[in-house]
């Protein structure tokens, strides 16, 4: 996957919650009609401990939102759901906390709550028991429904799951809805624990009382399992029956819209014994997605997502052929429509990376680069797009420009965690494109370590993951390019940084082992 997308756009698959019809926002408990309607969500920014103190006093649950300013689906939420008066009113039933990944201590909180990707919403009771978590890329109406339900709950979702696994016949319809709404794709094994997630979801698919919910869990189970390049005849038949049933139900297609769009091509392949079957089922999938898009207003960003699925099916079914001219033209039209429809900063941040992805899928890199360059002057986070420009330069053999874009992205990145993340991209680019320039590699890595030193309690979650990845790349580089002395100096600098972390109130365990393994 492309660099820019791996930073946030498709790192998390946005799945729509379960299939039970949703109550309208008007059915939710809201403040009295005489109370003035809030103009915006009353977020607490980063003060998680104080939020739980307020929750204990008020009895309200905590709604924790985990996001980042550059994250496309986070900006989609800001452009839509977070402006919806009904949703804003709903949040008054919670103590809402906005936890940006770059706020002080945010990465430690993210690790503590097991947050895997942006955006994620977690509902917790005043004692910090998790009531549910939701993928923030979900449809606005579905998120509103799920959070309306969660606002009055006091049973930990882990208890609900255990009950569903041991005595499913005694589980209430509401509890089953919570499990169906749950953001399994951003769970990071919080619920599954040591259990295999695919097997657990298949167990829920067998136990769930409603056919639509059974099928939802079955789809989730297939998505959680390892790709099977040679399914048995029985596996093909069961997958085909599952898809036929889901695609025949417009309500289920809408409820599982993004899951079907993202995983649909793989499911079509698993369900098909012949090319003709794959073609027929792919056409059926695209028709169902188009109908869902139409029912939801034919929004430009949704239609852009559908053409991604169509391109994936085309490549899967005809790997040795060029993309047909008609499909290229459709893709370009969808990009132009999405570009024109995105007028606010939040809308553009939510759309442009997807549009660039589509252009690159049809091998129109020139148009992709033009779109990115134009966005640099419009965007509030231009550094987000620069790694993509670096990748385009690298692919055409322009190593100097690729390194320059990565360096500009690093220098322009805002926020401690983001700066480390983009710094790692820059060093990795140097290792890949200029491996003989040991002084530049050491200097750049030293600068990234200094960025970490500025946040003594910052060696957590995404920051730790990036440093661990960088450590492996540096060790591989050292073996091939005689970099042992550089690594020794870098490790010494990291040891100093780790000592500061150890003396802080939040020790960064594992930091001292960097480059030693």
SS3 of 431-447: the string is HHHCCCCHHHHHHHHHH
User: What are residue 130's DSSP bridge partners?
Assistant: 124
What is the CATH number that goes with domain 1-217? 3.40.30.10
pLDDT digits (tens, 9 = 90+) for 431-484: 999 999 999 999 999 999 999 988 867 888 888 889 999 999 999 999 999 999
**Percent of the chain residues past pLDDT 90, beyond the cut:** 74
What pLDDT is attached to residue 32? 40
What pLDDT is attached to residue 17? 30
CB atoms within 10 A of CB 319: 7
Residue boundaries of the structural domains of the chain = 1-217, 416-517
Q: Which distant-in-sequence residues (6+ apart) come within 8 Å of 300 by Cβ?
A: 334, 337, 338, 340, 341, 342, 351
What is d(CA 432, CA 395) in angstroms, rounded to the nearest whole number? 13
What is d(CA 436, CA 434) in angstroms, rounded to the nearest whole number? 6
Q: List Cα–Cα distances, 363 to 286, 304, 367, in angstroms.
A: 22, 16, 9
Contact, 440 vs 446, CB < 8 A? no
Contact, 400 vs 440, CB < 8 A? no
360 or 141, which is more confident: 360
What pLDDT is attached to residue 39? 82
CA angle 278/279/285 to nearest 5° reads 85
What pLDDT is attached to residue 459? 86
What pLDDT is attached to residue 402? 98
What pLDDT is attached to residue 517? 64
What is d(CA 37, CA 202) in angstroms, rounded to the nearest whole number? 43
Give the DSSP H/E element, type plus range, for residue 28: none
Dmax (CA) of the chain: 73
DSSP-H helix ranges across 120-273: 140-150, 157-166, 173-181, 197-207, 211-224, 233-247, 250-255, 257-271
The SS3 assignment for 184 reads: helix
pLDDT digits (tens, 9 = 90+) for 16-54: 233 333 333 333 334 444 455 568 999 999 889 999 999
> Does the pLDDT of residue 112 top 80, yes or no?
yes
Helix, strand, coil shares of the chain, percent, nearest 5, are 65, 5, 30
Residue-wise DSSP of 310-341: HHHHHHHH-TTSPPPHHHHHHHHHHHHHHHHH
> Does the pLDDT of residue 304 top 50, yes or no?
yes
**Inter-axis angle of helices 197-207 and 211-224, nearest 10:** 170
Contact, 510 vs 470, CB < 8 A? no
Q: Which distant-in-sequence residues (6+ apart) come within 8 Å of 493 by Cβ?
A: 446, 449
User: What are residue 66's DSSP bridge partners?
Assistant: 99, 120
């Amino acid at each position: 996957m492309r660099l820019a997308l791996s930073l946030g756009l498709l790192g998390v698959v946005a799945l729509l919650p379960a299939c039970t019809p949703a109550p309208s926002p008007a059915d939710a408990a809201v403040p009295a009609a005489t109370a003035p309607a809030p103009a915006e969500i009353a977020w607490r920014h980063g003060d998680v401990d104080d939020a739980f103190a307020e929750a204990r006093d008020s009895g309200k649950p905590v709604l924790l939102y985990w996001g980042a300013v550059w994250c496309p689906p986070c900006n989609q939420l800001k452009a839509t759901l977070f402006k919806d008066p009904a949703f804003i009113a709903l949040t008054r039933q919670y103590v809402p906390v906005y936890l940006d990944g770059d706020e002080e201590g945010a990465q430690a909180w993210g690790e503590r709550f097991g947050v895997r990707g942006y955006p994620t919403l977690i509902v917790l009771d005043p004692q910090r028991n998790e009531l549910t978590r939701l993928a923030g890329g979900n449809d606005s109406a579905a998120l509103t429904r799920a959070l309306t339900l969660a606002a009055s709950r006091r049973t930990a979702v882990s208890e609900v799951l255990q009950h569903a696994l041991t005595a499913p016949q005694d589980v209430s319809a509401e509890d089953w809805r919570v499990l169906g709404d749950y953001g399994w794709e951003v769970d990071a094994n919080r619920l599954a624990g040591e259990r295999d997630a695919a097997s657990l979801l298949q167990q829920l698919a067998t136990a769930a009382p409603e056919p639509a919910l059974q099928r939802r869990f079955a789809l989730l189970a297939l998505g959680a399992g390892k790709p099977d390049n040679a399914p048995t005849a029985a596996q093909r038949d069961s997958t085909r029956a599952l898809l036929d049933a889901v695609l025949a139900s417009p309500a289920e297609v809408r409820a599982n819209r993004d899951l079907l769009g993202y995983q649909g091509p793989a499911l079509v392949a698993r369900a098909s014994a012949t090319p003709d079957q794959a073609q027929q089922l792919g056409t059926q999938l695209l028709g169902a997605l188009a109908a869902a898009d139409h029912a939801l207003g034919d929004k430009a960003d949704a239609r852009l997502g559908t053409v991604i699925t169509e391109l994936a099916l085309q490549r899967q079914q005809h790997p040795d052929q060029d993309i047909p001219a008609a499909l290229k033209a459709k893709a370009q039209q969808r990009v132009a429509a999405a570009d024109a429809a995105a007028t606010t900063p939040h809308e553009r941040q939510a759309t442009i990376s997807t549009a660039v992805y589509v252009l690159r899928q049809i091998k129109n890199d020139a148009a992709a680069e033009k779109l990115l360059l134009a966005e640099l002057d419009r965007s509030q986070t231009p550094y987000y797009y620069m790694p993509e420009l670096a990748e385009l330069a690298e692919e055409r053999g322009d190593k100097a420009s690729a390194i320059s874009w990565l360096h500009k992205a690093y220098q322009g990145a805002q926020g401690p965690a983001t700066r480390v993340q983009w710094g790692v991209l820059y060093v990795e680019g140097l290792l890949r494109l200029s491996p003989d320039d040991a002084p530049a590699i050491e200097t750049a890595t030293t600068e990234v370590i200094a960025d970490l030193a500025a946040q003594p309690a910052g060696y957590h979650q995404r920051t730790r993951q990036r440093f661990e990845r960088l450590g492996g790349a540096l060790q591989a580089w050292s073996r091939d390019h005689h970099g042992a002395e550089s690594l020794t100096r870098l490790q010494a600098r990291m040891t100093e940084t780790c000592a500061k972390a150890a003396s802080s109130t939040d020790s960064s365990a594992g930091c001292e082992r960097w480059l030693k393994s």
